[in-house]
Amino acid sequence: MSDYPAVEVSEDSLAKIARLADDQRKAAHAVAAAEAVLKARKEELVQVAEHDLPEAMFAVGMGEVKLKNGTTVSVSDRIQARISKTHEAAAFKWLEDNGFAGLIKREFKIGFGRDQEEWAAEFEAKLGSEEVGYTRKQAVHPSTLKAFVREQLEDGVEIPEEVFGVFRQVVAKLT
């Protein structure tokens, strides 16, 4: 495996290598411990921001409050949406039937082999005149879908929430 020439290694060099290997092992353990702490802190943040604080504010009938220290606490709905493979056909049909087909992006992918440079160069002309093997992908960009769903719900438009994978989340925000 090694292309290094065989040389005689001193005891000092071996000791240095052993120390550095130990340093690496300690650093790896420290990183793992820090990642575990970060994961726990993130879970605490989610618990407070998405559950505890919104529930406490709703319990007293508040959607927003300015605290003595100047912090504004507000609670709002966050809408998430996702078109799953299972509901893809139904989602695209609904969008097309309701005048929103423009949200659907269409992508065509055509594969050429290494020895098909000439064919690839002629492709544009041949596309209109010959059958070409290709795959077609349709999708709605996640940010576009999220904004669309939020807008429709805010406007009172009934959309098939299961088809669009709508998920409502209440979140507290500090400013």
What is the rounded CA–CA span in Å between residue 76 and residue 169? 8
Identify the band that residue 136 occupies on the pLDDT scale cut at 50, 70 and 90: confident
Q: State the pLDDT at residue 137.
A: 85
Alpha carbon distance, N-terminus to C-terminus of the chain: 57
Q: Tell me the pLDDT tens digit for each residue of 1-55.
A: 567 777 888 899 999 999 999 999 999 999 999 999 999 999 999 999 999 999 9
User: Which residue, chain included where needed, has tokens 């669309």?
Assistant: 148
Q: How many helices (H) and strands (E) does the chain have?
A: 5, 5
pTM of the model: 0.61
Contacts of 73 (CB under 8 A, 6+ apart): 53, 57, 64, 65, 66, 67, 172, 173, 174
Starting at the edge strand found earlier in the chain, the sheet holding 167-174 runs 64-66, 72-80, 167-174
Q: Tell me the pLDDT tens digit for each residue of 82-135.
A: 999 999 999 999 999 999 999 999 887 777 777 887 877 777 666 655 555 566
Tokens of 84: 């799953």
What is the rounded CA–CA span in Å between residue 166 and residue 173? 21
Q: State the pLDDT at residue 1.
A: 56
